[in-house]
Amino acid sequence: MECLSWFIHKYLFHGPLWFLHKSHHQKAKSFFEWNDLFAALFAALSLYLMYIDRHNFGYRFFIGLGITLYGMIYFVVHDWFVHQRFKTFKSNNTYLQAVRKAHKIHHKNRGKKEGKAFGLLFVRKTVLKN
């Protein structure tokens, strides 16, 4: 899921879907941002896939489950820890601090182009040397 998420973020969110994603790169004016629609879309897709394959537990069910689990991890790490949308989760864990730093590097550029570090959970050492 992380590799697919990286691809979607780099080529779709910073491409044709920038009109929604740009709200995430701007100073927040409220708790919700247009970018949050992606979470709703992915949640609906995952629930649909699990629902249509609920009797067979085939590949569609497990794709939906994978999207759900990644979404939960993404919410905790990205929204809760990195962006502090809820002020209750702090950590001095080296890995989590690297994730936060890489994401801050990504947000350093507020525009559609010239972005770096499009992933979330895999942090390249070359990104952190900046």
pLDDT (average), residues 103-128? 69
pLDDT tens digits, 29-73:
788 888 889 999 999 999 999 999 999 999 999 999 999 999 998
- 2-7, Cβ contacts within 8 angstroms, sequence gap of 24 or more: 2/70, 2/119, 2/120, 2/121, 2/122, 5/70, 5/74, 5/119, 5/120, 6/118, 6/119, 6/122
pLDDT category, 127, cuts 50, 70, 90? low
Break the chain into its structural domains and give their ranges. 1-128
